[in-house]
Amino acid sequence: MTSATPLTPVEQARYSRQMLLPQVGPEGQQRLRDARVLVVGSGGLGAPVSLYLAAAGVGHITLLDNDVVELSNLQRQIIFDTASVGQPKAVAAAQRLRALNPEITVVAAVETLTVDNAESWITSADLVLDCCDNFPTRYLINDFCHHLGTPWLFAALHQFRGHFALFSADTACFRCLYPRTPVTEGNCSLAGVMGTVPGLLGLWQANEAIKHLLRLPDSQPGHLWNCDALRSTMTAIRLVADPTCWCGQKHPDPRALHTHSLESWDREELELTWHEWQVLATDKALLLDVRSEQEHRAANAGGEWLAWPEITARLTQLGGKSPVGLYCQRGQRSLALARELRAQGFRQVFSIRGGLESHH
């Protein structure tokens, strides 16, 4: 339902370029004006996301962040300027959005999302944007959004790579994909980040959000997009719901998940030692080195090397009948890939713990 109030002449002038699009028009613009979005995090992702949503006329934007602007943020958190250093991020970002577009309502909350406040924040949103930098918050968003039937847009990045996905009540949930925090998680302060990467990811997130709010038919939930800004590539995989996941229960209670450690959700053995792999491996088993071709040539523990796009084709060929072991240098890349492949439905895939470095 869009509001009956017609757009004012000022709104018509402000949004005229996008309203010319047949996918938007006055009705779409009214939809955007009526929309309520919750942006969790006002950092590298939250900056471009909230700027573009505000500029496009998304009518109600709530920013949730309890952090303070630091000088080292300015390289990528383009919503702030040098004078913002020392201010609460949510407050400084809200000021910038109000200056950009006084036609919309912006609420700034200097707090973090917790198990106690998640329901009240998420209930009042039509769409939640995950612009945070940590897995506990992301699991909270997933669990309460799933519980309340609120769609949410996930995005995360690591150095030059990033992912985004739209999760809704009809798709797999985030726990289907990541039953526990991936070991490859590293935040920008430790791993480093190129400022353009959260910019690119944040723009995709804003673009997906606008498409979703406009109810465009080509909005594509249930796909995980992988972006590599170093190689300039983008690929998508379809997310498959895990029938054993929490989200498949009849009356799942999100609070119960956050009273236990996340480790209790690691229901299924994803990692094997080399010894366990040797016990499991038959003559039909497939061992894959998932490092670069160059690394494989320099030293390897046997098995085949395949380019990443060829891996899924090879696994499809095996038809799930034979175990597949993945190894890399230390077991982190192979674990991340094994998780992605499991999410695609390849249940026979295992990551070898410790990788080449633990092979004797």
Positions that interact with Zn ion (CB under 5 A): 173, 175-176, 245, 247
Task: For residue 329, give both structure tokens.
Answer: 């240098």
* Nearer Cβ to Zn ion (26/252): 252
Residue 269 beta carbon to Zn ion: minimum distance, rounded to whole angstroms = 18
* Nearer Cβ to Zn ion (238/297): 238
Cβ partners under 8 Å of residue 250, min gap 6: none
Closest CA to 36 of 129, 141, 175: 129
Residue 180 beta carbon to Zn ion: minimum distance, rounded to whole angstroms = 13
Alpha carbon distance 325, 322 (integer Å): 10
Residue 222 beta carbon to Zn ion: minimum distance, rounded to whole angstroms = 12
At 153 the three-state DSSP class reads strand
* Nearer Cβ to Zn ion (133/143): 143
Residue 322 beta carbon to Zn ion: minimum distance, rounded to whole angstroms = 27
Residue 23 beta carbon to Zn ion: minimum distance, rounded to whole angstroms = 31
* Nearer Cβ to Zn ion (92/176): 176
SS3 content of the chain, % helix, strand, coil (to 5): 40, 20, 40
* Nearer Cβ to Zn ion (26/221): 221
* Nearer Cβ to Zn ion (258/291): 258
Cβ partners under 8 Å of residue 349, min gap 6: 315, 324, 326, 338, 341, 342
Residue 244 beta carbon to Zn ion: minimum distance, rounded to whole angstroms = 9
Alpha carbon distance 135, 57 (integer Å): 30
18-25, long-range: CB < 8 A, 24+ apart? 18/56, 23/214, 23/216, 24/214
